[in-house]
Amino acid sequence: MYIHSFRLIAPHRLLEAQLFNQHYQNYEDIPNVPDRLRWCRHHMGLMQKEVAELIGISRGHYIDFEVGYVDYYPKEIVDKLAALYKIPVDDLLDDYNRFLYKGQGKMIREYRESLGLQKKPFARLIGVDPNLLRAWEADQKRMNINSWEKYFKNLIKA
């Protein structure tokens, strides 16, 4: 007697994937990171638990990424997800996370220097405390999404 095993996809999960794929027929149409992650997972036929195990995080942590409970995706996790899904990191991330991924300090410093400004005059120009600007440029403090949208979204292309 032989025992065969195969992955069973629960009907509601299959229906969810079908509805999601009807909404987004092309990866390029997806406007946000959570839906990009979900699209990739569905197309590989994986469950959230499996993805979490493959990249070394908890299922709850991965669910937070797919649901959109976070606005920041750490570099080491993004690298693992991009490798798993076989897509370039740039295609996976939104502009804010691409800015952080490429190095916010480097991006800010290059922009400031392109204007020919030192830190204090640049901080005054954009209306932030010079110490905060120093911390951003030194990558000692991660810029939150609201600050990025207010000060850099339209100035720096990631």
Residue 98 half-sphere exposure toward CB, CA atoms < 13 A: 15
pLDDT at 9 (0 to 100): 46
Q: How many C-beta neighbours within 10 Å does residue 83 have?
A: 12
Give the chain's mean pLDDT.
87
pLDDT at 154 (0 to 100): 82
pLDDT in tens, 44-66: 889 999 999 999 999 999 999 99
Q: Which of 58, 142, 133, 140 is nearest to 101 (CA)?
A: 142
- As a whole number, mean pLDDT of residues 88-95 equals 93
Percent of the chain topping pLDDT 90:
72
User: Left, alpha or beta for 68 (phi > 0: left; psi -120 to 50: alpha)?
Assistant: left
- As a whole number, mean pLDDT of residues 20-33 equals 76
Enumerate domains of the chain plus CATH numbers.
Answer: 11-93 (1.10.260.40), 100-151 (1.10.260)
Q: Which of 35, 152, 142 is nearest to 95 (CA)?
A: 152
pLDDT at 80 (0 to 100): 97
pTM > 0.75: yes or no: yes
Residues 39, 27 contacting (CB under 8 angstroms): yes
Q: Is the confidence at residue 114, as pLDDT, over 60?
A: yes
